[in-house]
Amino acid sequence: MSRQVALLRGINLGATRRVPMHDLRSALEDAGHEDVRTLLQSGNVVLESTADPAALERDLAAPLHAAFGFEIAVLVRTRDELAEVIARDPFAGVADDPARYQVSFLSAEPEAARAEELERAALAPERVAVLGREVYAWHPGGVGRSELAKSITARRLGVEVTARNWRTLTKLLELADAA
């Protein structure tokens, strides 16, 4: 068994697609997953699984759909992969507000041309770096007003995308490391 971090996309953002965390934990435990923990109300799950991340993404889809009545995209990283995402921080020393620093997790590496187009879209003082299956984006003026943030999408990158701010990522790693 290894610690896995499941990032659910597009839940609890408005009046629809509501997923209470207690119900989420119960659905995943009923599906046979162990030590299921959630962080915040935005679909951050840490659990124990023998499945590799790609298999776990597929395995989580059915019980989530059955429990909540709609499809929920899930991206999974192992505990060690999450630690690597944090360790390779390309904007260390630049991004000084964890609420305005986001990492978008991708279902696969985007095509090189799409990644380059996104990197060209960053206008100072914003910064963006596409590193494998993650997009690091620094939004010093705030995420909500950022045109760059609005362009880090599945449509633009051609892969599934879900974003978390830096504070959430570090808390997820702490949760994954907790006994």
Domain borders along the chain are 2-81, 88-177
Per-residue model confidence (pLDDT) at position 43? 84
Per-residue model confidence (pLDDT) at position 179? 55
Look at residues 121, 63, 130 and name the one whose alpha carbon lies nearest to residue 102. 130
At 143, which helix (H) or strand (E)? none
Beta strands 127-131 and 34-39: pairing type?
unpaired
Average pLDDT over residues 64-82: 92
CATH architecture, domain 2-81: 2-Layer Sandwich (3.30)
Cis upstream peptide for 125 (omega within 30°): yes
pLDDT confidence band for 16 (50 / 70 / 90): confident
Per-residue model confidence (pLDDT) at position 123? 87
Q: What is the number of alpha carbons within 13 Å of residue 28 lying toward its C-beta?
A: 29
CATH of range 88-177; options 2.60.40, 3.40.50, 3.30.70, 3.30.2310: 3.30.70
Average pLDDT over residues 115-135: 94
Average pLDDT over residues 96-124: 95
Alpha helices in the chain (DSSP H): 21-30, 53-68, 79-87, 112-121, 147-151, 154-157, 166-177
DSSP classification of residue 153: S
13 has pLDDT over 90: no
Spatial distance between the Cα atoms of 49 and 45, rounded to a whole number of angstroms: 12
2-81 and 88-177: identical CATH topology:
yes
